[in-house]
Structure 1
């Protein structure tokens, strides 16, 4: 039996291509969604861009027939734009039609009264899903680009090995590995002898062999790894053959500081890249401050303050850390920008850091990765447990999506950092609060 999916506006603003993700079922776009898309189309950010894309997709479908009557979708199914048709059934009690969400819910409610098949509201708004459940209706999140965060690829695994295997590894500086479980490219391994727990080794997987780490003890811009996960992170950051690196970890695990230290080392000291480009999504935590006055740098300062704090820590031995930072920016060696300004650019031979990547949608992650030019390296850092975006969660944000989609690629590497190194207080807060 064909299903009828009623799409909320936020699904289209999250992914405009969601129109074509429901196979041969019926897709209903409430008229209120068109109005909301029209209200968002002038925004100069990802939301506005997705609103314009969704409108263009609907306009293209209009060439196939009357949207109110329904048009065929390329992959099967029928799409139609539906008025609130309040003349057919009563609205659910207690719903104010002044709210777009309630008008969308009313469409689904009335359709469920007259449809033989199941009617499902698809929304990323959890409150709308709660309302639907209270009214006895079916509501779902849009899950096509979601991953299971509880089973997220860690980039590290512990494997039991014999004393002979560990001795062979140290003696030959490699150990052939064909046994189960199969390992991912650049995956890190902790070899442990169950008969003698003190006998262990750390290695990384490459081309069928476990090999020692090359950069784990290196010092970059005065920063050295404090635990094994940070050693693994340095291995990925310093290996120029690995072009996409993802670092996931809770607050204080050092993911951003390590990436900044290696970026400065690679760009300023080693001249391996022409510029260090730092970006992060402009997503407020708490009340939005609105538009800020001043130049582009002055506008970005509040959003980039966490990055500035880390950079000033790295420049702490200088007499005036801020002067060093401003000099690097003036020379064009260091650049900070929002994701909005990166669209359409090609970024060759640069070390790129995208911080707080958990607040980016999968669509935006794709846009950013496809900006990477010849000779560039891009690093994503973030904590999926600290999401400020209203319609993203641990399973649907771009960072976890990226980790799962590229884990088998030779040019990519990932590690999850677990031990806090910021301070004893920060570690206590991460564990207990």
Structure 2
């Protein structure tokens, strides 16, 4: 080819790989964790073994149990999909409304009659011993589908770690945890509500404008200078700089400068902050534009004390609210509090003793400590509730504290927060290092989900309160034991 001739480049169309449609077998705990899980797999095929329906049927009739509501909602979701389908269609797969992706077919939902599975020498079925019968039957459905469709991806979805190990050990190629509710890949990335800038903050800013809004002076800086900023977070550096992110738009971040002295001089019901994080948390609690404050942190960091002291301050001194509601979920080991004697408050007493402890801290120097506590409980209209009994109610003109929220799913937290009525404030407390729910990890906790989903909401505040203030022994135990 001579140098004057043009090179010809043959253009070939790019070959797109076809999307492999997967089959997902769901365990019961997935539907209890997220009752809407049948809609989470988009264009893929979802299989629910008959054993799962049987387990949901047993759970839905449990009296006053948190999970019974989730079981009923999951059953209703399944019923909406398969309601008008024939038995044959239900076994083959019924289209799930709203699951289609652009240019692709809808996802489907099928019920698998696993009671028909019999021993097959070619498939390594697990036995049906009584102790493990249900888990084994669900695993066997996935093994059967994998054998019948060797060219397809068949995946068991379960939140039970031991069940995942058993399934893999039995020859199932694909086993996964339920990840729809996972908003982070690493818990260390969880928003803290503040950011520390090394050195001098202003030396990192190329341009700044100053504007006046009412009686507040705001500094407007380019969004690119603080790409991770979100409303109601704090900024501080190694110098004296301290600022609060008032709001964020597409181009700018608006800062309200503050001082550490102002923050450290806040007082709620006689309580003073012991460190900067407590002071920032107190500022968020006292902000009328913040309807929900989420406080995370280790045991002994003062979360409960801060929330309670502000509640007494806001109700008895500022007259902002008419009642203080303290709620938490009773742990599974407690069984049903309905069997305990007394009123709802008396039934909840074993799990809300921490609040009595904190009331003693606030009134420990009074001449008659217990008399003061009883007086404050009555004057502030403090009501102790179980989360299991809060659903279906609305709370207006109330200050609400949700304690020990780290063991709740995102669905459970949503159902509680949606109960908050007009002129109310809610404070959600939790320690992600103390999760006692075997199906929830720090990454899948409803508290983690709430922090990440609400951090950009202009009427929510987040604060990770670190630094153990309970005692030096508590600090040692938290860090070393």
With normalisation by structure 1, the TM-score equals: 0.91
Which structure exhibits the higher relative contact order, with contacts defined as CA atoms closer than 8 Å and separated by 6 or more residues? 1
Show the counterpart of 1:140: 176
Looking at structure 2, the residues matched to 306 and 332 of structure 1 have their Cα atoms a distance apart, in angstroms, of: 17
Structure showing greater radius of gyration is 2
Q: Is contact 1:24–1:77 with CA below 8 Å preserved after alignment? A: yes
Looking at structure 2, the residues matched to 407 and 185 of structure 1 have their Cα atoms a distance apart, in angstroms, of: 7
The match for 1:260 among 305, 308, 315 is: 308
Looking at structure 2, the residues matched to 350 and 274 of structure 1 have their Cα atoms a distance apart, in angstroms, of: 6
Looking at structure 2, the residues matched to 384 and 163 of structure 1 have their Cα atoms a distance apart, in angstroms, of: 31
Structure 1: state its 5+ residue gaps. 193-198
Task: Encode CA deviations 1:404-423: one digit per residue, 9 max, x unaligned.
Answer: 00111110111112211110
Q: Call closer, same or farther: CA 1:321–1:215 in 2, change over 3 Å.
A: same
1:79 correspondence with 2:113: no
> Which one is further off, 67-76 or 327-336?
327-336
Looking at structure 1, the residues matched to 276 and 377 of structure 2 have their Cα atoms a distance apart, in angstroms, of: 33
Looking at structure 2, the residues matched to 341 and 97 of structure 1 have their Cα atoms a distance apart, in angstroms, of: 37
Structure 1 residue 204: Cα displacement: 1.3
Show the counterpart of 1:298: 346
Q: Is contact 1:5–1:26 with CA below 8 Å preserved after alignment? A: yes
The match for 2:58 among 32, 39, 42 is: 39
Task: Encode CA deviations 1:265-309: one digit per residue, 9 max, x unaligned.
Answer: 11122211111111111125xx54664333322211111112221
Structure 1 residue 160: Cα displacement: 4.4
> Which one is further off, 66-75 or 373-382?
66-75
Two-structure CA RMSD over aligned residues (Å):
2.3
> Which one is further off, 84-93 or 379-388?
84-93
Show the counterpart of 1:56: 76
- The alignment partner of 2:195 has SS state of strand
Q: Is contact 1:105–1:132 with CA below 8 Å preserved after alignment? A: yes
Structure 1 residue 62: Cα displacement: 2.5
- The alignment partner of 2:36 has SS state of helix
The match for 2:225 among 166, 176, 180 is: 180
- Mapping of 1:268-307 within 5 angstroms? 268-283=316-331, 287-288=333-334, 291-307=339-355
Q: Call closer, same or farther: CA 1:216–1:373 in 2, change over 3 Å.
A: farther
Show the counterpart of 1:21: 40
Q: Is contact 1:64–1:71 with CA below 8 Å preserved after alignment? A: no
1:334 correspondence with 2:366: no
The match for 1:69 among 86, 92, 100 is: 92
Task: Encode CA deviations 1:9-63: one digit per residue, 9 max, x unaligned.
Answer: 0111111100110011111101100110011011223200111111122222232
Q: Call closer, same or farther: CA 1:163–1:311 in 2, change over 3 Å.
A: closer
Looking at structure 2, the residues matched to 431 and 95 of structure 1 have their Cα atoms a distance apart, in angstroms, of: 44
The match for 1:362 among 407, 410, 413 is: 410
Looking at structure 1, the residues matched to 29 and 296 of structure 2 have their Cα atoms a distance apart, in angstroms, of: 26
Looking at structure 2, the residues matched to 109 and 314 of structure 1 have their Cα atoms a distance apart, in angstroms, of: 59
Q: Call closer, same or farther: CA 1:337–1:186 in 2, change over 3 Å.
A: same
Structure 1 residue 93: Cα displacement: 5.7
Structure 1 residue 328: Cα displacement: 4.0
Looking at structure 2, the residues matched to 318 and 335 of structure 1 have their Cα atoms a distance apart, in angstroms, of: 23
Structure 1 residue 161: Cα displacement: 5.8
The match for 2:296 among 245, 248, 269 is: 248
Say how many residue pairs are matched: 422
Structure 1 residue 150: Cα displacement: 2.5
- The alignment partner of 2:350 has SS state of coil
Show the counterpart of 2:245: 205
Q: Call closer, same or farther: CA 1:250–1:396 in 2, change over 3 Å.
A: same
Q: Is contact 2:396–2:423 with CA below 8 Å preserved after alignment? A: yes
1:383 correspondence with 2:417: no
